[in-house]
Amino acid sequence: MPEESTNKRVKAEDKAVTNFREYLRIKTVHPEPDYDGAIAFLQRQADEIGLSFSTVEVHPGKKVVIITWEGEDPTLPTILLNSHTDVVPVYPEEWKVDPFSADKMENGDIYARGTQDMKSVGIQYLEAVRKLKKAGQKFRRTIHLTFVPDEETGGILGMKLFLKREEFKKMNIGFALDEGLANPKDAFTVFYGERNPWWVLVKCHGNPGHGSRFIENTAAEKLRRVINKFLDFRGMEEKKLKSSGCLTLGEVTTINLTMLEGGVQFNVVPNEMKVGFDIRIAPTVDLVEFEEKIKTWCEEAGEDVTYSFIQKCDDQTLTSTDKSDPWWNAFSTACESLGMVLEKEIFPAGTDSRFLREAGYPALGFSPMNNTPILLHDHNEFLNEDVFLKGIDIYCQIIPALANVK
């Protein structure tokens, strides 16, 4: 008899994990995302599963992929499973592996940009649909999987334009799922609304002169007053969050100074300086009153201080999480059947869901990743393969529940 090998047999990798890692290796990273590579990959997946595939160019070089599984009653409002294909830039020197190698550690942790945000969810949709279709399941409602560009740069040249297209309107969306966040605990987080992102640019004009003099009413003096006003408010909101035992990040307003510009050379006092703030406003805040606050801060900083909006979202629509709502009831009941604990929150940042809700489509943000640190946009972003595979099984319960809502 041949001598039995003492080497451990390597467990074959699940095909879904292989597809996930292949998708991660496509460098859809800004500022020059390889959208064509992603589209080719997604078309191959649709062909393998046996689903219809189409693209809509919403802006030159920006295409939305639509993969469709037609339901038994195509007249009913449909289910939208949305994800974005682009990912944010990386600092390779801060990573333990190549950020686009999709290396898998011995414990199953897969490292790559986009593992959590949000290529995992896009593949989980596809693999769940693959399983359900292979099992011969059929549903009342049509299911659309969309893969959109440019979410990481605000969605302006992606979902926002797509909603205006006739191709989107013909999809007859009734309910949508989009991205959420990982949960470090055993529970799963589901998001039913978002804070309003306001990107504010403040310009301060003042007297110029030589860098050796005490010049009055300089742009820098006014800039300092503006910064103090904004950051003082930031401190108040941070204190509110930390002192309360029940508030989450999505329920307070954050302000961060993200841009600073001014000056021509070291010995010249500039006549203009600019400062940019990223503000995320909680849904409970009166937006008219908040803009009045910004106006007052600028007026109190001195003459010739103006503000403008680079981005200003004013919709505060929330998706119902009441059991009487058929969509929420279907989603939450499917999760409960798996023994999942759901934590309902306001999303602290911004996703394409805000455009959907603003247009009147109920949407939930959900990424089935528990017992996982939140690492979106962070160095060494990873997702464990077991968590990833469990997410596919979760969608195998959620998708039928939504697609059969009466």
Give 86-142 pLDDT, tens digit per residue.
999 999 999 999 999 999 999 999 999 999 999 999 999 999 999 999 999 999 999
Angle, CA of 113, 132 and 138, to the nearest 5°: 135
**Residues forming the active site:** 86, 151
In this model, does residue 8 exceed pLDDT 80? Answer: no
Mean pLDDT of 11-27: 96
Q: What class, spelled out in words, does domain 15-179+367-403 have in CATH? A: alpha beta
Beta strand 254-262 pairing with 382-384: unpaired
pLDDT at position 60 is 97
Beta strands 188-194 and 342-347 are parallel
Residue 5, pLDDT score: 42
Is 118:179 a contact under the CB 8 Å cutoff?
A: yes
Q: And the tokens for 151? A: 């979410």
**Mean pLDDT of all residues in 238-248:** 92
pLDDT tens track for 20-36: 999 999 999 999 999 99
* 236 has pLDDT over 50: yes
Q: Does domain 196-312 have CATH number 3.10.580.10?
A: no
Give the tens place of pLDDT for each residue, 336-353. 999 999 999 999 988 999
Gap between the Cα atoms of 88 and 320, Å rounded: 31
Per-domain residue ranges for the chain?
A: 15-179+367-403, 196-312
Residue 79, pLDDT above cutoff 70 = yes
pLDDT in tens, 309-323: 998 989 999 999 999
Closest by CA to 82, choosing from 143, 12, 41, is: 143
Q: Model confidence at 245, in pLDDT bands (50, 70, 90)?
A: confident
338 closest CA partner among 406, 390, 269: 390
pLDDT at residue 373 tops 70: yes
Are the CB atoms for 403 and 71 separated by under 8 Å? yes
Contacts (Cβ under 8 Å, ≥6 apart) of 159: 64, 82, 148, 151, 352, 355, 356
Token readout for 125 is 């949709």
pLDDT digits (tens, 9 = 90+) for 40-51: 999 999 999 999
